[in-house]
């Protein structure tokens, strides 16, 4: 299965000024290495740098829970999604019919995406969050 799209050797997004996420694609391993605030994210069990095969950036509505410090994320519905695999970026959508259903991810043509086998990170971000890829 060949993946087509624009090149994405790095992927960057930010949840807050003190929570910046970066992925760097390693062509040799075909994995994205994950960084938080410029530092490698380490696996707590073995100390290795966390690396993933696929990244899904799911844009979803966030809202504060009144009277608390909590934020809820609307995960039923649909919205924009961005996908990164094999150093390639694609733009599409996500859809989840109800709380008991699985989220389905679609490509730019409305066809369901089947991801490469391996670790996949889903980054839930606000609809207006910018994702920089180069």
- On the 0-12 / 13-18 / 19+ scale of CB atoms within 10 A, 47 is exposed
pLDDT digits (tens, 9 = 90+) for 65-124: 999 999 999 999 999 999 999 999 999 999 999 999 999 999 999 999 999 999 999 999
pTM of this prediction exceeds 0.85: yes
For the stretch 4-53, pLDDT in tens is 789 999 999 999 889 999 999 999 999 999 999 999 999 999 999 999 99
Strands (E), the chain: 6-7, 10-16, 19-26, 31-36, 39-40, 51-52, 54-59, 62-64, 71-73, 77-85, 88-96, 104-106, 120-125, 132-133
Q: Which of 83, 86, 65 is nearest to 74 (CA)?
A: 65
Structural domains in the chain plus CATH codes: 6-129 (3.50.90.10)
Query: In the prediction, which pLDDT does 95 show?
Result: 98
Confidence of residue 1 (pLDDT cuts 50, 70, 90): low
């Amino acid at each position: 299965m060949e993946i087509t799209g624009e090149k994405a050797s790095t992927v960057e997004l930010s949840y807050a000024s003190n929570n910046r996420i970066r992925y760097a694609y390693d062509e040799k391993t075909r994995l994205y290495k994950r960084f938080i605030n410029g530092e490698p994210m380490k696996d707590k069990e073995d100390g290795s740098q966390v690396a993933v095969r696929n990244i899904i950036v799911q844009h979803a509505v966030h809202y504060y829970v009144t009277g608390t410090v909590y934020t809820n994320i609307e995960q039923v519905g649909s919205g924009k999604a961005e996908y990164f695999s094999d150093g390639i970026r694609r733009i599409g959508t996500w859809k989840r019919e109800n709380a008991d259903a699985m989220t389905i991810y679609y490509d730019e043509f409305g066809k369901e995406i089947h991801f490469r086998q391996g670790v996949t990170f889903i980054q839930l971000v606000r609809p207006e969050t910018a994702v920089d890829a180069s």
